[in-house]
Amino acid sequence: MNIESIQVIRFYITLCTSYVLLIFGNIGFICNFITFTSKQLRQNSCGWYLLMSTLFDCSCINFGLFTKLASEHYGSKLQHTNLVWCKIRIFLTWILQCFSTGYLILASIDRCLSTPKSQRIRSFSQIKIAHQMTCIPIILYSLTSSHLLVYFNLRKRCSPTAGTYAFFLSIYSIHQRLIHPIIQNRNRTDSQMIKITLVQVLYSFILLNIRTIYFSYSLLSTNIRKDNYRHAIESVILQISSFIFYFNYRRCINNIHTAEVKCVLFGVDTGSGVANLLDNTITWQSNGADDR
């Protein structure tokens, strides 16, 4: 396979996969938004955290993929010519998915706080507390990821500073992708909930770390001399790993535990409108998955 053929493959991977993820990802967002803004869940603290997670999922997939399409398919050079946009884009694409994960962790903690016998501990699982905690993931991840605004610069492309920082960033990304799913799983102490979320955790772990492994490789091999053919092959792998990463935030498919959430988290009556919506969503997802 010559370089031209590889570039054609890369072109169609970027074009087709981006639009597929955008369409089904936004369908999933709409379904989740309707669910978590329903009357029964609107005043539920865990429902609030899941709603916030859904909103940042939507922001992550739309901002990330639209700017990716503009840069790699529609000819925009802004990311690799404007230093401010270079820093802003990498910062937002990084922290938006961190915000989403942070709210899932808060939802897990909230469920733990709602189960003890102590009324004092259970009192922390309230919608008022959830509203007050809303800013915590935003502040925390904005501060811990602020190094991206400093050490990403324009060389040939928008990329991190080579050397020590590139090594640090590869380790940092592994921490972000590896530790969070483990924390999220440990915080769900209910045995039924652990079974429900186990597949989700493993699913996210695999998808995120495929991207992380390649991202770390690309950073650590920056100073290695590569010919044009190797660059072309690596660009295709980069696209595939990037879309695998975004696939994790396509909640229409990713929320495989949603059918059980109504019973385990919220105690929603299976005859309610919310439950019917969830059941119909899962049925539609299953049928769609078979077609693919």
User: Dihedral, CA atoms, 135, 141, 146, 149, nearest 10 degrees?
Assistant: -90
Structural domain for 85, as ranges: 3-291
* CA-to-CA separations, 167 to 99, 141, 212, 231, in angstroms, rounded: 24, 20, 13, 21
> Does the pLDDT of residue 254 top 50, yes or no?
no
> Does the pLDDT of residue 139 top 90, yes or no?
yes
Selection from 16-20, 231-235, 240-244, 267-271 with the highest mean pLDDT? 16-20
Q: Which residues contact 121 (CB under 8 A, 6 or more apart)?
A: 113
pLDDT band at 232 (very low <50, low <70, confident <90, very high): confident
pLDDT band at 156 (very low <50, low <70, confident <90, very high): confident
Higher pLDDT, 198 or 6: 6
**pLDDT tens column, 158-212:** 888 777 777 777 677 666 655 555 444 444 444 554 455 455 556 566 666 666 6
Task: Tell me the three-class secondary structure of the chain, residue by residue.
Answer: CCHHHHHHHHHHHHHHHHHHHHHHHHHHHHHHHHHHCCHHHHCCHHHHHHHHHHHHHHHHHHHHHHHHHHHHCCCCCHHHHCHHHHHHHHHHHHHHHHHHHHHHHHHHHHHHHCCCCCHHHHCCCCHHHHHHHCHHHHHHHHHHCCHHHHHEEECCCEEECCCHHHHHHHHHHHHHHHHHHHHHHHCCCCHHHHHHHHHHHHHHHHHHHHHHHHHHHHHHCCCCCCCHHHHHHHHHHHHHHHHHHHHCCCHHHHCCCHHHHHHHCCCCCCCCHHHHHHHHHHHHHHHHHHHC
| Predicted pLDDT at 121 | 79
| Predicted pLDDT at 120 | 80
Residue 7: which CATH number?
1.20.1070.10
Total tally of structural domains belonging to the chain = 1
| Predicted pLDDT at 270 | 36
> Does the pLDDT of residue 48 top 70, yes or no?
yes
The whole-chain average pLDDT of the chain stands at 72
**pLDDT tens column, 60-70:** 889 988 988 88
Stretch 137-162: mean pLDDT: 86
Higher pLDDT, 96 or 179: 96
> Does the pLDDT of residue 260 top 90, yes or no?
no
**pLDDT tens column, 100-129:** 888 888 887 887 787 777 778 778 888 899
| Predicted pLDDT at 246 | 67
